Structures are given as C-alpha cells and as structure tokens.
Amino acid sequence: MTETSIRPDSPTSAEMVRWAFRTILGHHGVSADVVRFHQQAFPRFDQLCEGLKDSNEFAATYGPRADRPAPPPSAAVEADLRTAITSLYRAYLHREPDASGMADNLAVLRQMGGLAGVGHLASVFEQSTERALHDHLPACMRWITSGNGQPDEFNGRPVISLGSHCAPAMILKKNGLKQFSTPFDWIFSTPAMVRDCLRDQFRTLLSTRHHRPVTRLDADGVLEAVSAHTLYNERYGIVDPVFNHRDITRPEVLAYYRRCAARFLKVLRGGGPVTFLQCVIEASHGEAACREEFRATAALLRQMAPQASLAMFHLRLKGGIMPGLAVLEEDGPHLLFQLDTVSVLGALDFHEQIDQIGLMRGLRWHARRTALSDASRP
C-alpha cells in the first residue's frame, strides 16, 4: 500500500482492503467480491480497520477487544509497525519520524495490538497540530511574499541590515528586500559597535591599524583567511573575527568595504526614507539590556537620520510549535519587537522556516505602520 493511501478521509481502495485483511486478520487472499463489499461498507480507511477489529473472526482470534492481550511483537511484526509509522509520518507530516516520535507511536500500536491500531493512529496524525501547521505554511509563505495582497509595503524604501551578524542580510535577500551591500551585512557586530560606526562614519571600522589577518579552518576543514578588528573585537567582547567572511587586510577587500560604507552613508544623508533591521540574540543581550540598546540607537537615528526607521528584534529561543511576536517598545518610527522563536538563528537563517515568517511578519507590519505615518505628515 502506498504512503498516500493511508488517509482516513480518502475513499477506501481495493489495496487498502487487502492490506487491512492481511495485517489485521492474517488473510493473504481476499476475493474481489469481498473487496468490493468492504469498500462500500467502510468508505474510510479507519472505519475499515475498526470494522475488522469488531468482527467475530477477530474476536475468535484475540478475544474480546477490551480484554485482548497485546502479545510481544516478533521482529517481523516490529518491522511492520515501524513501516506503518514511517508511512504515516510521510503521508501526514511530510517528513521522516524522529526517534522519540517513533518510540511513542510504537508504544501506542503495541498497546492497541499492533497493526490493528494503525487506523486510530492515522486519525491522530490527521488531527495533529503539526499537520495543521504544515498545511498552513504554504499560505503563510504566499502571504509573506505577496504582502497579503496589498501593494509592496516598502514601496521601494531601502531596507538595510544593522547586524548583529549575517542572517538578517540573508533573510532580506531571500525576501527580495536587499537592494545593495552595506558594511554590517557580512560581519559580526553589536548595537553599541554599530552606533560607534555611525558616529565616526566608519572611520574606525575601516582603519587599517585595527585590522589583523586570521587564518582558521572552515566547517569543511579547509583553511580560510578572515580578519579581526583589534579594537572592536576587544571592546565589545566579540569572540569571532569581526570580518568573518573576508580578509580586510587585502586591498581589494578593503576597497569593497569602503564602497559598502559609501553606499550606507549616501542613504543615511540622502534624506529619503530608509528602514534598518537589527537582530539581537538574548544570549548576548537580555531584555533589559536590549531595551537600553534600542533607546540609544533610536536617539542616535533621530539626530543623524530623522527620515529613518528602526525595526529591532530581540530574539528569544522558546521552542514549541509557533513563534510569538510582540512590540516591546516604540519610539516614533522606531519599534522594538520581541520574537520568541521555535528554533535557533543560525549563520544565515533560522533553523525553522516559521521563525523567518514571524520576523518578516513584524518587519512588514512595521513598514505598513511607517507608510501610514509618512502619509499623515503635511
């Protein structure tokens, strides 16, 4: 029987009938008439399984269902149970079973007498929260990429990453919002370091007296050349080299970062609207510290770029099934969000797509709010 055939809401197929007779009653040969009768009598797969378990033949073999003992499964039966559970995971959750899920569902089937409990288990999978979440993900992603059917909320407004590492820039790029590269896209930073860079217009960041080459092994064990910033690495306790993708001691790389800084300053001084995205992880800044960083950055932007708006996200790993999103503080056009994530923010993105959806939900809401504020100005 195929994986997709194990669906309680699907019409009972002839293959399902033969499989159920073989696994529940031990019949390896079923006539076409019997197959047709059971297809008509039990239109759903779980109804078919329950009907066979309620039959006299089943009771004669195992005794009354309520009193039926659960014999220890043989190796062959155990393999069949694992196959059935794997099929349910693939059909309903579109993934392979995890170790704990396999163990839990094996225990359920053993308690219910083996494969006779597959119909019940299929109903459990069908009604599971994970199944519902998976079914809604495509719609959520369409909502994210389409702006919920509205015109583009950003309306051409640049959206620029302020770090604190590479993931925010990559998320912007994946969502079609990264128009050009700027200094904080591919480096490690902190909110305080970002403010230092804005105040002195990147002079310290780009000063060659602070650049030190670093050679290290990448994830594949290959040597790569990157570079530290001796002042910022020490001042802000940044463990990894600030320039964690390129060696800025090379002339061509230094020239690249100078171009990035020039682009950033052109936008900052240009007087046009711009949105800054910044992600701060709870492991480095608790909520109270993040609030202080938000207020300091918002105050600096009011002085340097009154047309700018800041969307800062405080990321707090909570686990669970769905992320949580709330506004912690607002200061004019600047918002501090609390994003409770179900997964870790990795080097380039969240480990679970649903967390990116949560972040983009906040960023787009911030953009619509900013657009309304701009439109209300005389």
Q: Helix crossing, 191-199 with 287-304: angle to 10°?
A: 20
Q: Are residues 183 and 83 in the same domain?
A: no
Query: Does 226 map to a domain?
Result: no
Q: Are residues 85 and 188 in the same domain?
A: no
Banded model confidence at residue 92, pLDDT cuts 50, 70, 90: confident
Instruction: Tell me how many domains the chain contains.
Output: 2
Please check whether residue 297 is in contact with residue 278, taking contact to mean a CB–CB distance below 8 angstroms: yes
Give the Å distances, CA to CA, from 350 to 170, 231, 279, 306, 357. 10, 30, 12, 31, 10
| Residue 110 pLDDT greater than 70, yes or no | yes
Q: What is the pLDDT of residue 140?
A: 58
| Residue 338 pLDDT greater than 50, yes or no | yes
Q: Are residues 316 and 197 in the same domain?
A: yes
| Residue 223 pLDDT greater than 90, yes or no | no
Amino acid identity, position 294: F
Q: What is the pLDDT of residue 67?
A: 47
Query: Does 214 map to a domain?
Result: no
| Residue 149 pLDDT greater than 50, yes or no | no
Q: Are residues 114 and 189 in the same domain?
A: no
Give the Å distances, CA to CA, from 359 to 48, 256, 289, 351. 45, 29, 20, 13
Full domain range(s) for residue 309: 145-202+251-376
Q: Are residues 288 and 189 in the same domain?
A: yes
Query: Does 240 map to a domain?
Result: no
- Helix residue ranges, H only, 24-98: 32-41, 45-53, 56-62, 75-88
Choose among 73, 277, 74, 267: nearest CA to 174. 277
Query: Does 17 map to a domain?
Result: yes
Dihedral sign for Cα atoms in the order 17, 21, 24, 28: negative
Task: Tell me which of 147-156, 170-179, 190-199, 315-324 is least confident.
Answer: 147-156
Q: For the chain, how are helix, strand and coil distributed in percent, rounded to 5?
A: 50, 15, 35
pLDDT mean over 329-333:
95
| Residue 210 pLDDT greater than 80, yes or no | yes
Choose among 163, 305, 299: nearest CA to 240. 163
- Per residue in 38-90, pLDDT (tens digit) is 776 677 777 777 777 776 666 656 655 554 444 555 777 888 888 889 888 88
Please check whether residue 276 is in contact with residue 309, taking contact to mean a CB–CB distance below 8 angstroms: yes
Q: Domain ends where: 97, 127, 157?
A: 127
Which residue is it, tokens 């804005």? 198
pLDDT mean over 164-187:
94
Q: Are residues 16 and 156 in the same domain?
A: no
Query: Does 166 map to a domain?
Result: yes
| Residue 127 pLDDT greater than 50, yes or no | yes
Q: Between these two residues, 156 and 206, which has the higher pLDDT value?
A: 206
Query: Does 140 map to a domain?
Result: no
Q: Are residues 29 and 158 in the same domain?
A: no
| Residue 150 pLDDT greater than 60, yes or no | no
Query: Does 232 map to a domain?
Result: no
- Looking only at the bridges linking them, the beta strands covering 334-341 and 324-331 are antiparallel
Banded model confidence at residue 295, pLDDT cuts 50, 70, 90: very high
pTM score: 0.62
Average pLDDT, the chain: 84
| Residue 276 pLDDT greater than 80, yes or no | yes
